[in-house]
């Protein structure tokens, strides 16, 4: 069975529109560095949604390292009309530490500052939590609201996906196992899990025969196969009894809207 995010995304968009109509919300500032194609297409996708919604947007793009970066950043970071700042990866190493250390945690929509990460990891309320794991969990909970005691497998250990997801899942009382490229028996872990979050970025690596008959697979991975965007799971091959999120149309589609919704958070 396919678990799509379209309905949830519409609900989030509706909430954003209502807040804009109520006169709430501030500008978004996006910083991009160099010519990374992934960062460029991510920015284009965000821009499209932001423009459709009518959210004021300021974009900053630098081909090479320059003093202007810090000047622009510090101005946006202290401007009270700016509600959120996104620093698209990869960031020039000469400024990465400075930008992340100084980013106002309340404007840190994707939860990259140590303040927000620390608050999430220690179980306290972070201002912002990374949008990708949030979207993945929200999509799962729209189908399976109670995760208490469930065997949940996370295949990814990065700070943007796997690590924050583990903390969100522990809060839900799940029993969490983390796998990565050095894991010896991924096949065994896959067979035991009730729920699988996968973010390897390896096209169609997981098929229905790899998981339990009643497993739920939340696919965060994105990669290209035969010129088409696809996930880690070969979702079209999954049976009726197994639940899987499609790519595209699953986690990725919800991530951007959740990120933008964070602009309207009250503190
Ligand atoms: N849907 C969305 O909104 C969204 C947002 C962000 C990212 N993504 C996608 O999610 C994926 C992960 O992003 P990322 O930035 O975390 O990528 P990444 O840095 O490449 O991390 C991939 C993770 O998967 C693990 N891995 C790779 N191959 C594996 C294998 N054969 N067996 C077990 N584990 C394996 C890696 O293990 P090691 O740690 O040992 O290397 C690592 O932890 C990418 O496909 C990315 O495009 C999607």
> Closest Cα to atom 47, ligand 1: which residue?
222
Is pLDDT of 38 > 80?
yes
Q: What is the pLDDT of residues 133-150, one digit of tens each?
A: 999 999 999 999 999 999
What pLDDT, on the 0 to 100 scale, is given for residue 146?
Answer: 98
252-to-132, 139, 188, 230 alpha-carbon distances in Å: 7, 11, 27, 11
Half-sphere exposure of residue 119: CA atoms within 13 angstroms, side-chain side:
14
Q: How many helices (H) and strands (E) does the chain have?
A: 9, 10
Sole residue written with tokens 């050095």: 182
> Closest Cα to atom 30, ligand 1: which residue?
181
CA distance 254 to 139: 8
For ligand 1, which residues put their CB under 6 angstroms from it? 132, 155-158, 160-162, 179-183, 186, 199-202, 220-223, 251-252, 255
What pLDDT, on the 0 to 100 scale, is given for residue 124?
Answer: 87
Is pLDDT of 45 > 80?
yes
Residue 25 tokens read as: 């919300």
Is pLDDT of 241 > 90?
no
What pLDDT, on the 0 to 100 scale, is given for residue 264?
Answer: 94
CA distance 45 to 88: 13
Backbone region of residue 53 per phi and psi (left: phi > 0; alpha: psi in -120 to 50; beta: other values): alpha
Instruction: Show the CA angle centred on residue 58, arms to residues 52 and 59, nearest 5°.
Output: 100
Is pLDDT of 123 > 90?
no
> Closest Cα to atom 42, ligand 1: which residue?
156
The predicted model gives 250-266 an average pLDDT of: 94
Is pLDDT of 239 > 80?
no
Work out the pLDDT band at 5, boundaries 50, 70, 90: very high
Mean per-residue pLDDT over the chain, rounded: 96
Share of the chain above pLDDT 70, in %: 100
The DSSP 8-state label assigned to residue 265 in this structure reads -
Q: What is the pLDDT of residues 156-184, one digit of tens each?
A: 999 999 999 999 999 999 999 999 999 99
What pLDDT, on the 0 to 100 scale, is given for residue 246?
Answer: 96
Distance from Cα 118 to the centre of ligand 1, integer Å: 22
Yes or no: say if 176 and 169 are a contact pair by the CB < 8 Å rule: yes
Work out the pLDDT band at 201, boundaries 50, 70, 90: very high
- Provide the whole-model pTM: 0.95
Q: For residue 189, give the H/E element and its range.
A: helix 186-192
CA distance 156 to 158: 6
What pLDDT, on the 0 to 100 scale, is given for residue 267?
Answer: 86
């Amino acid at each position: 069975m396919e678990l799509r995010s379209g309905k949830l995304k519409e609900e989030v968009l509706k909430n954003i529109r209502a807040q804009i109509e109520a006169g709430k919300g501030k500008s978004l500032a996006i910083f991009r560095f160099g010519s990374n194609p992934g960062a460029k297409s991510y920015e284009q996708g965000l821009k499209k949604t932001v423009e459709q919604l009518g959210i004021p947007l300021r974009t900053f793009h630098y081909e090479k390292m320059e003093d202007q970066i810090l000047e622009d950043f510090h101005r946006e970071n202290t401007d009270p009309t700016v509600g959120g700042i996104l620093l698209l990866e990869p960031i020039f190493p000469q400024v990465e530490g400075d930008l992340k250390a100084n980013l106002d945690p309340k404007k840190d929509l994707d939860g990259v500052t140590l303040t927000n990460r620390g608050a999430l990891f220690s179980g306290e309320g972070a201002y912002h939590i990374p949008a990708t794991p949030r979207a993945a969990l929200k999509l799962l909970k729209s189908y399976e609201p109670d995760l208490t005691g469930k065997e949940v497998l996370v295949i990814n250990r990065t700070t943007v996906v796997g690590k924050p997801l583990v903390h969100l899942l522990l809060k839900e009382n799940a029993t969490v196992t983390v796998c990565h490229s050095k894991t010896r028996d991924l096949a065994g872990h896959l067979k035991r899990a009730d729920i699988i979050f996968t973010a390897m970025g390896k096209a169609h690596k997981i098929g229905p025969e790899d998981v339990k008959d009643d497993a739920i697979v939340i696919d965060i991975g994105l990669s290209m196969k035969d010129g088409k965007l696809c996930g880690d799971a070969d979702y079209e091959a999954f049976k009726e009894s197994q639940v899987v999120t499609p790519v595209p149309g699953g986690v990725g589609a919800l991530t951007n809207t959740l990120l933008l919704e964070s602009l309207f958070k009250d503190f």
